[in-house]
């Protein structure tokens, strides 16, 4: 899967699928299932590192996870998330850090949160030959500014701002835009306005594609989950049960049995 193929999918009216992965094992499963885009999201901070926000995630941690994910990816487009403060301070930082994802991580593209506020940094990354995916709506890296992960664009002025940001991102040259936590009607408006694909998470059915955090889809993350998550499996309970049965077997002298022992 390549950037031009992703753009072509929208033109052909074919939906785009995208999931997160943070390691090679999960990435291989997602890749072999035929998902179009694998995102090494900075959501790894909350999903697997135990942080309460994505803000503490560092460039070196993202590079490590992107590199191990890349070993499991044969077909999908591999996109890496630019973590907090890897692009905010200057265009030079943005280009240098985006370049690291391609050189050291094996990614094909990067994702950057924000609209007009980071337009010059996005243009600089694209000018360096690095494809960029935009991200509007809920911006988890701005959680302290917005006061939480609240649905964005509910009133007309903020809807207008998100639409304008998406148009600005397209003009800047991004190849796709993630729209997180916005009303379905606004997502439809943006999807109809842009030529590049929109990929929704909590943005309704009218987007050109959908993205979810893999651990949410698999039912591994603890409740409560956001309204937009659909669990396609409930693995957390299965894992807990397997671990409990192992403990009981060891404590009860039932494991290892004859079959699991060398003779
Ligand atoms: O970090 C992440 O996983 C993301 C997706 C939820 C789009 O940005």
Q: What is the pLDDT of residues 21-63, one digit of tens each?
A: 999 999 999 999 999 999 999 999 999 999 999 999 999 999 9
- pLDDT > 90 fraction of the chain, expressed in percent and rounded: 98
Predicted pLDDT at 201: 98
Q: Which of 17, 35, 211 to mutate to test the pocket of ligand 1 (most atoms within 8 A of CB)?
A: 211
Which has more pLDDT, 148 or 54? Answer: 54
Q: Check residue 139 and give its pLDDT.
A: 96
Once rounded to an integer, what is the mean pLDDT over residues 110-126?
Answer: 97
| Positions of E strands within the chain | 16-20, 37-40, 77-81, 109-111, 132-137, 176-180, 198-201, 209-212
Distance between CA atoms of residues 193 and 166, nearest Å = 9
In angstroms, what CA-CA distances link 194 with 23, 42, 114, 173, 243?
A: 33, 26, 17, 12, 48
65 and 72 in contact (C-beta within 8 Å)? no
10-13 contacts at long range (C-beta below 8 A, 24 or more positions apart): 10/195, 10/196, 10/197, 10/208
Share the mean pLDDT of the chain.
97
Closest listed residue to residue 204, CA positions, set 221, 192, 219 = 192
Atom of ligand 1 nearest to the CA of 42: 1
Which residue's structure tokens are 């992703």?
6
pLDDT at 17 over 90: yes
Q: Rounded CA gap, 81 and 39, in Å?
A: 7
- Show the tokens assigned to 126: 């694209």
Which residues sit opposite 18 in a β-bridge? 37, 211
Tell me: pLDDT of 143 over 90. Answer: yes
What is the whole-number distance in angstroms between the Cα of residue 18 and the centre of ligand 1?
A: 10
Q: With CA atoms as reference, report the closest residue to 112 among 144, 129, 93, 87.
A: 87
Burial class (CB in 10 A: 0-12, 13-18, 19+), 229: middle
Is 160 among the catalytic positions?
no
The two structure tokens encoding residue 226: 């956001």
178 lines ligand 1 (CB under 6 A): yes
Residue 223's pLDDT band (cuts 50, 70, 90): confident
Average pLDDT over residues 239-256: 98
Compute, in angstroms, the gap from residue 259 CA to the centroid of ligand 1: 44
First to last CA, the chain: 50
CA 183 vs CA 89, 151, 158, 166, 192: distances in Å: 31, 7, 11, 15, 14
pLDDT for residue 30: 98
What class does CATH assign to 3-232? alpha beta
**Residues 72-86, mean pLDDT to the nearest whole number:** 98
* Average pLDDT score over residue span 156-169: 98
Rounded Cα distance, 242 and 252, in Å:
15
Q: Judge whether residue 174 has pLDDT over 90.
A: yes
What tokens does 262 get?
């060398």
- Rounded distance, CA 69 to CA 28, Å? 8
Which atom number of ligand 1 is nearest to the Cα of residue 39? 3
164 compared with 147, residue with greater pLDDT? 164
Banded model confidence at residue 8, pLDDT cuts 50, 70, 90: very high
């Amino acid at each position: 899967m390549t950037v031009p193929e992703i753009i072509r999918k929208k033109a052909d009216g074919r939906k785009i699928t995208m999931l997160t992965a943070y390691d090679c094992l999960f990435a291989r499963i997602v890749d072999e299932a035929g998902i179009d885009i694998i995102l090494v999201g900075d959501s790894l901070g909350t999903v697997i590192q135990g942080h309460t926000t994505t803000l503490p995630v560092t460039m070196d941690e993202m590079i490590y996870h992107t590199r191990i994910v890349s070993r499991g990816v044969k077909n999908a487009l591999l996109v890496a998330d630019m973590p907090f403060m890897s692009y905010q301070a200057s265009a030079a930082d943005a280009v240098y850090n985006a370049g690291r994802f391609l050189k050291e991580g094996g990614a094909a593209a990067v994702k950057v949160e924000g609209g007009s506020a980071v337009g010059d940094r996005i243009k600089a990354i694209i000018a360096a030959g690095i494809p960029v995916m935009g991200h509007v709506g809920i911006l988890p890296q701005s959680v302290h500014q917005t006061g939480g992960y609240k649905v964005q664009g509910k009133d007309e002025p903020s809807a207008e701002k998100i639409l304008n940001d998406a148009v600005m991102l397209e003009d800047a040259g991004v190849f796709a835009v993630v729209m997180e936590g916005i009303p379905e009607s606004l997502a439809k408006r943006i999807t109809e306005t842009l030529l590049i694909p929109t990929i929704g998470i909590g943005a309704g059915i009218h987007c050109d594609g959908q993205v979810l955090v893999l651990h949410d889809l698999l039912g591994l993350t603890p409740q409560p989950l956001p309204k937009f998550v659909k669990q396609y499996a409930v693995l957390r309970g299965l894992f807990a049960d397997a671990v409990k049965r192992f403990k009981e077997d060891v404590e009860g002298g039932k494991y290892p049995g004859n079959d699991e022992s060398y003779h």
